Amino acid sequence: LNAIQFDGELKLVRDAPIPRRTGEPLVQVLAAGICSTDLEIVKGYAGFKGTLGHEFVGRVIESNDPALFGKRVAGEINCGCGACGHCRSGDQRHCPTRTVLGIKNRDGAFAEYLSLPETNLVRVPDVISDEEAVFIEPLAAALHILDQTEVEPSTQVAIIGDGKLAQLIVIALVQTRCRMTVIGKHDEKLRLAKRNAPDACLLRSAQLCAEHYGRFDCVVEASGSAAGLETALKLARPAGTIVLKSTHVGETSFDASAIVVNELNIVGSRCGRLSNAIDFISRFKPNLRNLISERLSLDQGLTGFALAENSSSMKVILQVA
Protein backbone atom coordinates (compact mmCIF):
# COMPACT_ATOMS: atom_id res chain seq x y z
CA LEU A 1 0.00 0.00 0.00
CA ASN A 2 1.08 3.56 -0.70
CA ALA A 3 1.89 5.89 2.16
CA ILE A 4 3.82 9.13 2.69
CA GLN A 5 6.21 8.37 5.51
CA PHE A 6 8.87 10.24 7.43
CA ASP A 7 11.87 8.56 9.08
CA GLY A 8 14.30 11.46 9.04
CA GLU A 9 13.52 11.75 5.36
CA LEU A 10 10.18 12.20 3.62
CA LYS A 11 9.33 9.39 1.20
CA LEU A 12 6.59 7.71 -0.75
CA VAL A 13 6.52 4.09 0.41
CA ARG A 14 4.91 1.58 -1.94
CA ASP A 15 4.75 -1.45 0.34
CA ALA A 16 3.41 -0.06 3.63
CA PRO A 17 1.35 -2.62 5.58
CA ILE A 18 -2.33 -2.04 6.39
CA PRO A 19 -2.23 -0.20 9.76
CA ARG A 20 -4.36 -2.58 11.82
CA ARG A 21 -4.76 -2.10 15.56
CA THR A 22 -6.65 -4.58 17.68
CA GLY A 23 -10.29 -3.66 18.23
CA GLU A 24 -10.14 -0.55 16.09
CA PRO A 25 -12.14 0.10 12.92
CA LEU A 26 -10.27 0.33 9.63
CA VAL A 27 -10.88 3.50 7.65
CA GLN A 28 -10.28 3.92 3.94
CA VAL A 29 -8.87 7.41 3.48
CA LEU A 30 -10.76 9.46 0.85
CA ALA A 31 -8.88 12.76 1.12
CA ALA A 32 -6.37 14.34 3.46
CA GLY A 33 -4.90 17.81 3.92
CA ILE A 34 -1.27 18.83 4.44
CA CYS A 35 -0.99 20.97 7.57
CA SER A 36 1.81 23.22 8.77
CA THR A 37 2.35 20.73 11.59
CA ASP A 38 3.25 18.12 8.93
CA LEU A 39 5.83 20.52 7.54
CA GLU A 40 7.21 21.07 11.04
CA ILE A 41 7.43 17.30 11.64
CA VAL A 42 9.55 17.01 8.51
CA LYS A 43 11.85 19.60 10.09
CA GLY A 44 12.06 17.53 13.27
CA TYR A 45 9.14 18.73 15.42
CA ALA A 46 7.73 15.98 17.69
CA GLY A 47 10.41 13.49 16.65
CA PHE A 48 7.81 11.46 14.77
CA LYS A 49 8.54 8.51 12.49
CA GLY A 50 5.89 6.83 10.38
CA THR A 51 3.00 7.76 8.09
CA LEU A 52 2.20 11.47 8.29
CA GLY A 53 -1.18 13.19 8.05
CA HIS A 54 -3.95 13.97 10.53
CA GLU A 55 -6.53 15.99 8.60
CA PHE A 56 -8.73 13.56 6.69
CA VAL A 57 -12.09 12.28 5.65
CA GLY A 58 -12.53 8.55 5.16
CA ARG A 59 -14.98 5.68 4.97
CA VAL A 60 -15.22 2.95 7.60
CA ILE A 61 -14.66 -0.39 5.89
CA GLU A 62 -14.23 -2.64 8.95
CA SER A 63 -15.91 -2.07 12.30
CA ASN A 64 -17.38 -3.98 15.24
CA ASP A 65 -20.03 -1.28 15.41
CA PRO A 66 -22.48 -1.90 12.54
CA ALA A 67 -23.70 1.71 12.83
CA LEU A 68 -20.27 2.95 11.69
CA PHE A 69 -19.74 0.46 8.87
CA GLY A 70 -19.70 2.14 5.44
CA LYS A 71 -20.07 5.61 6.93
CA ARG A 72 -18.05 8.68 6.00
CA VAL A 73 -16.09 9.92 8.99
CA ALA A 74 -13.62 12.47 10.29
CA GLY A 75 -11.39 11.55 13.20
CA GLU A 76 -10.40 13.00 16.55
CA ILE A 77 -6.63 12.56 16.34
CA ASN A 78 -5.71 12.10 20.03
CA CYS A 79 -6.02 8.55 21.37
CA GLY A 80 -5.79 8.30 25.14
CA CYS A 81 -5.05 5.36 27.41
CA GLY A 82 -8.62 5.39 28.70
CA ALA A 83 -7.53 4.98 32.33
CA CYS A 84 -5.78 8.17 33.50
CA GLY A 85 -7.53 11.16 35.06
CA HIS A 86 -7.66 13.12 31.79
CA CYS A 87 -9.11 10.20 29.86
CA ARG A 88 -11.67 9.39 32.56
CA SER A 89 -12.83 13.00 32.57
CA GLY A 90 -13.39 12.71 28.82
CA ASP A 91 -10.38 14.66 27.59
CA GLN A 92 -7.89 12.31 25.98
CA ARG A 93 -6.19 15.30 24.30
CA HIS A 94 -4.06 15.65 27.43
CA CYS A 95 -3.47 11.98 28.24
CA PRO A 96 0.28 11.75 28.97
CA THR A 97 0.59 8.42 27.14
CA ARG A 98 -1.65 9.31 24.20
CA THR A 99 -0.88 8.45 20.62
CA VAL A 100 -1.73 11.06 18.00
CA LEU A 101 -2.63 10.27 14.40
CA GLY A 102 0.33 11.05 12.16
CA ILE A 103 2.05 12.99 14.96
CA LYS A 104 2.88 10.65 17.85
CA ASN A 105 3.31 6.84 17.81
CA ARG A 106 0.44 6.26 15.38
CA ASP A 107 0.48 6.06 11.58
CA GLY A 108 -1.50 8.82 9.94
CA ALA A 109 -3.76 9.70 7.04
CA PHE A 110 -1.40 10.03 4.05
CA ALA A 111 -2.05 6.39 3.23
CA GLU A 112 -4.82 4.33 1.70
CA TYR A 113 -6.02 3.15 5.13
CA LEU A 114 -5.79 4.26 8.72
CA SER A 115 -6.82 2.89 12.09
CA LEU A 116 -8.50 4.88 14.87
CA PRO A 117 -10.60 3.84 17.88
CA GLU A 118 -14.37 3.80 17.33
CA THR A 119 -14.85 6.59 19.88
CA ASN A 120 -12.56 8.88 17.84
CA LEU A 121 -14.64 8.64 14.69
CA VAL A 122 -17.31 11.22 13.98
CA ARG A 123 -19.83 10.81 11.16
CA VAL A 124 -19.74 13.47 8.47
CA PRO A 125 -23.20 14.51 7.27
CA ASP A 126 -23.95 14.40 3.54
CA VAL A 127 -24.22 18.19 3.33
CA ILE A 128 -20.45 18.39 3.90
CA SER A 129 -18.34 17.47 0.85
CA ASP A 130 -15.11 15.46 1.08
CA GLU A 131 -13.08 18.63 0.47
CA GLU A 132 -14.90 20.52 3.20
CA ALA A 133 -14.59 17.55 5.54
CA VAL A 134 -10.78 17.69 5.33
CA PHE A 135 -11.06 21.04 7.14
CA ILE A 136 -13.07 19.61 10.08
CA GLU A 137 -9.98 18.88 12.20
CA PRO A 138 -8.15 22.21 11.64
CA LEU A 139 -11.40 24.20 11.87
CA ALA A 140 -12.12 22.49 15.20
CA ALA A 141 -8.69 23.70 16.35
CA ALA A 142 -9.59 27.24 15.24
CA LEU A 143 -13.00 27.12 16.97
CA HIS A 144 -11.31 25.86 20.15
CA ILE A 145 -10.20 29.47 20.77
CA LEU A 146 -13.83 30.24 21.62
CA ASP A 147 -13.83 27.47 24.28
CA GLN A 148 -10.85 29.13 25.91
CA THR A 149 -11.51 32.85 25.76
CA GLU A 150 -14.60 34.99 25.45
CA VAL A 151 -14.95 36.89 22.17
CA GLU A 152 -17.84 39.31 21.87
CA PRO A 153 -18.86 41.85 19.21
CA SER A 154 -17.02 44.57 21.14
CA THR A 155 -13.81 42.52 21.51
CA GLN A 156 -10.81 43.90 19.62
CA VAL A 157 -9.10 40.83 18.19
CA ALA A 158 -5.79 40.74 16.32
CA ILE A 159 -4.93 37.62 14.36
CA ILE A 160 -1.21 37.35 13.59
CA GLY A 161 -0.71 35.26 10.47
CA ASP A 162 -2.35 34.83 7.09
CA GLY A 163 -1.65 31.14 6.43
CA LYS A 164 -3.93 28.11 6.50
CA LEU A 165 -4.68 28.10 10.21
CA ALA A 166 -4.99 31.88 10.45
CA GLN A 167 -7.57 31.83 7.65
CA LEU A 168 -9.62 29.22 9.52
CA ILE A 169 -9.38 31.36 12.66
CA VAL A 170 -10.74 34.30 10.63
CA ILE A 171 -13.62 32.08 9.48
CA ALA A 172 -14.26 30.86 13.05
CA LEU A 173 -14.15 34.31 14.65
CA VAL A 174 -16.10 36.22 12.01
CA GLN A 175 -19.29 34.65 13.37
CA THR A 176 -18.71 36.36 16.73
CA ARG A 177 -18.89 39.74 14.88
CA CYS A 178 -15.84 40.84 16.87
CA ARG A 179 -13.66 43.75 15.72
CA MET A 180 -11.00 41.89 13.82
CA THR A 181 -7.57 42.92 12.54
CA VAL A 182 -5.59 40.43 10.45
CA ILE A 183 -1.84 40.96 10.38
CA GLY A 184 0.03 39.17 7.61
CA LYS A 185 2.89 39.27 5.17
CA HIS A 186 1.23 38.37 1.89
CA ASP A 187 -1.19 40.74 0.09
CA GLU A 188 -2.95 37.88 -1.65
CA LYS A 189 -3.56 36.00 1.59
CA LEU A 190 -4.72 39.15 3.36
CA ARG A 191 -7.21 39.70 0.54
CA LEU A 192 -8.44 36.14 1.05
CA ALA A 193 -9.00 36.86 4.74
CA LYS A 194 -11.01 39.93 3.72
CA ARG A 195 -13.27 37.80 1.53
CA ASN A 196 -14.19 35.73 4.56
CA ALA A 197 -14.32 38.68 6.94
CA PRO A 198 -15.33 41.77 4.93
CA ASP A 199 -15.27 44.07 7.98
CA ALA A 200 -11.79 43.05 9.10
CA CYS A 201 -8.91 45.54 9.12
CA LEU A 202 -5.89 44.28 7.22
CA LEU A 203 -2.37 45.11 8.21
CA ARG A 204 0.99 44.17 6.72
CA SER A 205 3.27 43.15 9.56
CA ALA A 206 5.84 45.63 8.24
CA GLN A 207 3.31 48.42 8.92
CA LEU A 208 2.95 47.59 12.62
CA CYS A 209 3.84 50.59 14.74
CA ALA A 210 3.30 52.15 18.14
CA GLU A 211 -0.28 53.14 17.35
CA HIS A 212 -1.22 49.45 17.21
CA TYR A 213 0.49 48.49 20.44
CA GLY A 214 -1.42 47.84 23.65
CA ARG A 215 -4.76 48.03 21.85
CA PHE A 216 -6.09 44.51 21.50
CA ASP A 217 -8.22 42.60 24.01
CA CYS A 218 -7.28 39.32 22.38
CA VAL A 219 -4.30 38.50 20.17
CA VAL A 220 -4.23 35.16 18.37
CA GLU A 221 -0.73 34.11 17.32
CA ALA A 222 -1.06 31.86 14.28
CA SER A 223 1.88 32.98 12.17
CA GLY A 224 3.98 29.90 12.76
CA SER A 225 7.00 32.12 13.22
CA ALA A 226 9.13 32.64 16.30
CA ALA A 227 8.66 36.41 16.05
CA GLY A 228 4.88 36.07 16.39
CA LEU A 229 4.85 35.86 20.18
CA GLU A 230 6.98 38.97 20.52
CA THR A 231 4.57 40.86 18.29
CA ALA A 232 1.61 39.52 20.25
CA LEU A 233 3.11 40.78 23.52
CA LYS A 234 3.27 44.28 22.05
CA LEU A 235 -0.23 44.26 20.60
CA ALA A 236 -2.13 43.02 23.67
CA ARG A 237 -3.66 45.58 26.00
CA PRO A 238 -2.91 45.34 29.74
CA ALA A 239 -4.79 42.33 31.19
CA GLY A 240 -5.49 41.17 27.65
CA THR A 241 -5.28 37.60 26.37
CA ILE A 242 -2.80 36.04 23.97
CA VAL A 243 -3.81 32.75 22.36
CA LEU A 244 -0.88 30.75 20.98
CA LYS A 245 -1.87 28.50 18.08
CA SER A 246 1.37 27.81 16.20
CA THR A 247 3.57 24.83 16.75
CA HIS A 248 7.03 25.40 15.40
CA VAL A 249 10.36 23.75 15.92
CA GLY A 250 12.86 25.34 18.20
CA GLU A 251 12.84 27.80 21.03
CA THR A 252 11.32 31.23 21.13
CA SER A 253 12.95 34.09 22.98
CA PHE A 254 10.85 36.94 24.28
CA ASP A 255 10.73 39.55 27.00
CA ALA A 256 8.76 37.81 29.76
CA SER A 257 8.52 41.00 31.81
CA ALA A 258 5.83 42.30 29.41
CA ILE A 259 3.60 39.43 30.61
CA VAL A 260 4.14 40.39 34.24
CA VAL A 261 3.91 44.16 33.90
CA ASN A 262 0.84 44.04 31.67
CA GLU A 263 -0.69 41.06 33.52
CA LEU A 264 -1.34 39.23 30.27
CA ASN A 265 -3.15 35.90 30.03
CA ILE A 266 -1.24 33.51 27.80
CA VAL A 267 -3.33 30.61 26.55
CA GLY A 268 -1.89 27.66 24.67
CA SER A 269 -4.42 26.24 22.22
CA ARG A 270 -4.26 23.01 20.27
CA CYS A 271 -7.09 20.66 19.22
CA GLY A 272 -10.82 21.25 19.42
CA ARG A 273 -13.97 19.15 19.27
CA LEU A 274 -14.78 17.86 15.79
CA SER A 275 -18.54 18.05 16.41
CA ASN A 276 -18.23 21.83 16.84
CA ALA A 277 -16.60 22.13 13.42
CA ILE A 278 -19.16 19.84 11.78
CA ASP A 279 -22.01 21.93 13.21
CA PHE A 280 -20.24 25.12 12.15
CA ILE A 281 -19.71 24.01 8.53
CA SER A 282 -23.28 22.67 8.24
CA ARG A 283 -24.75 25.86 9.67
CA PHE A 284 -22.61 28.66 8.21
CA LYS A 285 -21.32 27.03 5.00
CA PRO A 286 -18.02 28.99 5.06
CA ASN A 287 -16.15 29.14 1.78
CA LEU A 288 -13.45 26.56 2.49
CA ARG A 289 -12.73 25.88 -1.19
CA ASN A 290 -11.06 29.28 -1.34
CA LEU A 291 -8.43 27.91 1.00
CA ILE A 292 -7.41 25.03 -1.28
CA SER A 293 -4.46 25.81 -3.50
CA GLU A 294 -3.71 22.34 -4.85
CA ARG A 295 -5.40 18.96 -5.32
CA LEU A 296 -3.06 16.04 -5.91
CA SER A 297 -3.10 12.25 -5.70
CA LEU A 298 -1.39 10.34 -2.89
CA ASP A 299 1.29 9.33 -5.43
CA GLN A 300 2.07 13.03 -5.87
CA GLY A 301 2.39 13.51 -2.10
CA LEU A 302 6.05 14.53 -2.16
CA THR A 303 5.22 17.21 -4.72
CA GLY A 304 2.38 18.21 -2.42
CA PHE A 305 4.80 18.74 0.46
CA ALA A 306 7.10 20.80 -1.76
CA LEU A 307 4.17 22.96 -2.86
CA ALA A 308 2.88 23.32 0.71
CA GLU A 309 6.30 24.66 1.75
CA ASN A 310 5.89 27.48 -0.74
CA SER A 311 4.92 30.67 1.07
CA SER A 312 2.23 31.52 -1.46
CA SER A 313 0.42 28.21 -1.08
CA MET A 314 -2.61 27.46 1.06
CA LYS A 315 -4.12 24.02 1.76
CA VAL A 316 -2.79 21.17 -0.36
CA ILE A 317 -5.30 18.33 -0.53
CA LEU A 318 -4.29 14.75 -1.34
CA GLN A 319 -7.16 12.90 -2.97
CA VAL A 320 -6.49 9.35 -1.88
CA ALA A 321 -9.51 7.38 -3.12
Binding part of the chain for Zn ion, among 29-37, 196-204, 250-258, 275-283 by CB under 5 A, reads 29-37
Q: Closest separation between CB of residue 132 and Zn ion, Å?
A: 16
Quick check: 271 binds Zn ion (CB under 5 A)?
no
Q: What 3-state DSSP class applies to 58?
A: strand
As measured in angstroms, the least distance from the Cβ of 319 to Zn ion is 18
C-alpha gyration radius of the chain: 19
Residue 35 as a binder of Zn ion (CB under 5 A): the answer is yes
- 37-66 binders of Zn ion (CB under 5 A): 37
Which residue in the set 19, 53, 80, 228 belongs to the binding site for Zn ion (CB under 5 A)?
A: 80
Count of residues binding Zn ion (CB under 5 A)? 7
By the rule CB under 5 A, 140 interacts with Zn ion? no
Window of 94-102, 146-154, 230-238, 284-292 that interacts with Zn ion by CB under 5 A: 94-102
- What b-and-e string marks burial along 231-246, b requiring 16 or more CB atoms within 10 Å of the CB? bbbbbbbeebbbbbbb
Q: Which stretch binds Zn ion (CB under 5 A): 13-21, 32-40, 57-65, 212-220?
A: 32-40
Helix (H, G, I), strand (E, B) or coil at 74: strand
Phi-psi sector, 46: left (phi>0), alpha (psi -120 to 50), beta: left
Rule CB under 5 A: say whether 142 interacts with Zn ion.
Answer: no
**Span of 30-38, 45-53, 146-154, 181-189 interacting with Zn ion by CB under 5 A:** 30-38
Is 80 or 304 the residue whose CB approaches Zn ion more closely?
80
Does residue 168 sit in helix, strand or coil? helix
Residue 300 CB, nearest approach to Zn ion (Å)? 20
> Strand 179-184 relative to strand 156-160: parallel, antiparallel, unpaired?
parallel
Starting at the edge strand found earlier in the chain, the sheet holding 179-184 runs 201-204, 179-184, 156-160, 216-221, 236-244, 265-268
276: which residues sit within 8 A by CB, 6+ positions away?
A: 140, 143, 144
Q: Which residues bind Zn ion (CB under 5 A)?
A: 35, 37, 80-81, 84, 87, 95
